[in-house]
Amino acid sequence: MFKKNKKTKNLFAYKRGFTLIELLVVIAIIGLLGGVVMISLQSVRAKTRDTQRVTSINTINTALNLYHTTYSAYPIFDGYITGSDALSTTLKSSGLINEIPIDPTNDGNYRYYYQSTDGQDFYLEYYLETNSINGKSEGRNFLIP
């Protein structure tokens, strides 16, 4: 049979766990991967918000065109669309739209702006965070009928 050596037994007694260096390397790698994932998620979130912005602007545009078809003029208003402003109230009370969409962040530059001084045409302004939408650029964008 195989005879155990006391030296061999003691050699394995010291190899039971991980060394501090090995643990620190693993923790550093996990931290690095976590950072990369977080950066990727921020980019995806910005693209999602941009998609919501374009969808919201198209919804507002549709409501404005329906309003023009019904009343032969666009609502006269000059300001930011907040959901409780005069434009939003006018569109909701006309029954053409139930809820006026606002920007997903609704802070700083990321707000929707509407202007119509004569009721014959209008100007919608909005900002995008990325270049992810075809035909739209990062930053300031306009919708004019």
Q: Is 112 exposed, middle or buried (0-12, 13-18, 19+ CB in 10 A)?
A: buried
Strand order in the sheet with 139-143: 77-81, 112-116, 123-128, 139-143
Q: What pLDDT was estimated at residue 52?
A: 95
| Residues 63 and 110 sit within 8 Å (Cβ to Cβ) | no
Please report the pLDDT score of residue 108 as a whole number.
81
What is the C-alpha to C-alpha distance for residues 132 and 50, in angstroms, rounded to an integer? 8
Residue type, 42: Q
Q: How many other CB atoms are found less than 10 A from the CB of residue 127?
A: 18
Q: What pLDDT, on a 0 to 100 scale, did the predictor assign at position 9?
A: 56
Distance of CA 55 to the CA centre of its chain: 12
Question: Can you give the pLDDT at residue 119?
Answer: 93
**Which parts of the chain have pLDDT scores under 70?**
1-15
pTM for the full predicted model: 0.75
Write down the pLDDT at residue 11: 53
Burial class (CB in 10 A: 0-12, 13-18, 19+), 60: buried
Number of Cβ atoms within 10 Å of the Cβ of 111: 17
Q: Which residue has the tokens 């061999």?
A: 8
